Chains A and B, each alone.
Chain A
Amino acid sequence: AQSVAQPEDQVNVAEGNPLTVKCTYSVSGNPYLFWYVQYPNRGLQFLLKYITGDNLVKGSYGFEAEFNKSQTSFHLKKPSALVSDSALYFCAVSPATGNQFYFGTGTSLTVIP
C-alpha cells in the first residue's frame, strides 16, 4: 500500500534558525516526491519535487529537500526560517506508474519572531 507519513503535527522554530519538516514514504517502485504549502483557506502551492537525479532538490522560497532512498525519507529544509514561512506543509508521493497522489497528514509550521 502507498502511504506518506509526516510524524510531526506541529513544528515551531525561531526566525532565522534552520527548519526541518519530516516526511517518510512507502510506495512500490520508484516514487515521485513532492512538497506543497497551504496558507489558510487556500489551495496548495507547489514547492518542489524529486523525480530522479540529484538527491538534493531546490525549490521555491529558498526551500530544499533531500531524497534518501535507504531511509525512504524526503525531509523539507530551509537554512533560515522567516515568519512568513508559517503555514501548513504537505508531503506527497506519486508512484512513477499510475495517476494517484497520496498526501501526508500535514505539518503546521510556526516561525516565532
Chain B
Amino acid sequence: GAVVSQHPSRVICKSGTSVKIECRSLDFQATTMFWYRQFPKQSLMLMATSNEGSKATYEQGVEKDKFLINHASLTLSTLTVTSAHPEDSSFYICSARDWANTEAFFGQGTRLTVV
C-alpha cells in the first residue's frame, strides 16, 4: 500500500510554545489529508480535513486558530499546535487519500506531551 510518513513520532514541548507536525505522502499525491486526535484507549477524533491548495475544514469544537493546518502541496500537510497547553497532550495521527483510492493511508502518529 501507499506510504504516509509522519514526523516527529514523539515530541515534548513547554507550555506556551508551538509545535509543528508534518505528514508526507511518499509515493502518491494526497489530494485530501485528514488530521485526527486519539486519546488513550479511545477512537480517533477527526479534527479537520484538508484538500490541497484550499483551507482546511474543521470539525465542530476544534479551534482552527489553535490547530493550524496547511496543505500547500500534494505531498505535504502540516499541523501546528499553537500556544500548547498540557491538555493538548495527545496522540495525533494524519492520513492521506488520493483521487484514485477509496481508502486512506495513515502516518505512524505523533505523541505530543506538553509540560
A residues at B contact (CB < 8 Å): 32, 34, 36, 41-46, 49, 51, 90, 94, 99-106, 108
Contacts and interface: CB of A to CB of B under 8 A. Distances in A.
A94 B102 contact: yes
Interface residues of B, number: 25
B102 A41 contact: no
Interface of B: 1, 4, 6, 32, 34, 41-44, 46, 49, 51, 91, 93, 95, 97, 102-109, 111
A46 B43 contact: no
Contact of B91 (A41, A49, A103, A108): A41
A101 B95 contact: yes
Contacts of B32: 99
A43 B43 contact: no
A43 B109 contact: yes
Nearest to A50: B102
